[in-house]
A = this chain, B = another copy of it.
Amino acid sequence: MCMTRDEIIRQIRVGEMKSTTSGLAPEYVQANLVVVPEAYAADVRGLCQRNPVPCPLVEELAPGAVEPRCAPGSDLRTDLPGYRLWIDGELKERRHDVRDLWRVDFVAFLIGCSFTFERALVDAGYRLRHQELGRTVPMFRTNVPLAPSGRLHGRMVVSMRPFPAESVEGVRTVTRAYAEGHGEPVHWGDPAQIGIADISRPDEGDPLPLEPGEVPVFWGCGVTPQLVTIESKLPFVITHEPGSMFITALRHEEYATTGS
Shortest distance between the CB of A255 and any CB in chain B (Å)? 16
Tell me which residues across on chain B come within 8 A of A184, comparing CB atoms: 46, 148-150
Structural contact, B147 and A176, CB atoms closer than 8 A = no
Q: Can you list, as one digit per residue, whether each of A65-81 has a CB less than 8 Å from chain B (1) or not (0)?
A: 00000000000000000
- Residues on B with C-beta less than 8 A from A49 are 52, 179
Chain A 122-157 per-residue mask, 1 if CB under 8 angstroms from chain B, else 0:
000000000000000000000011011110000000
Q: Quick one: given A46-B176, A176-B46, A176-B150, are A194 and B145 in contact (CB under 8 Å)?
A: yes
Binary interface profile of A, 101-122, with partner B (CB < 8 Å = 1, else 0)? 0000000000000000000000
Q: Does A5 contact B (CB under 8 A)?
A: no
Q: Return chain B residues, CB-CB under 8 Å to A94.
A: none
Separation of A50 and B156 alpha carbons in the complex (Å): 14
Residues B53 and A53 in contact, CB atoms below 8 Å apart:
no
Whether, in the assembled complex, A202 has its beta carbon less than 8 Å from a beta carbon of chain B, the answer is no
| Cα(A98)–Cα(B36), bound, Å | 51
Could you list 17 A-B pairs, sorted by A, with CB under 8 Å? A46-B176, A46-B183, A46-B184, A49-B179, A50-B52, A50-B53, A50-B179, A50-B183, A52-B52, A53-B147, A145-B187, A145-B194, A148-B184, A148-B185, A150-B172, A150-B176, A150-B184
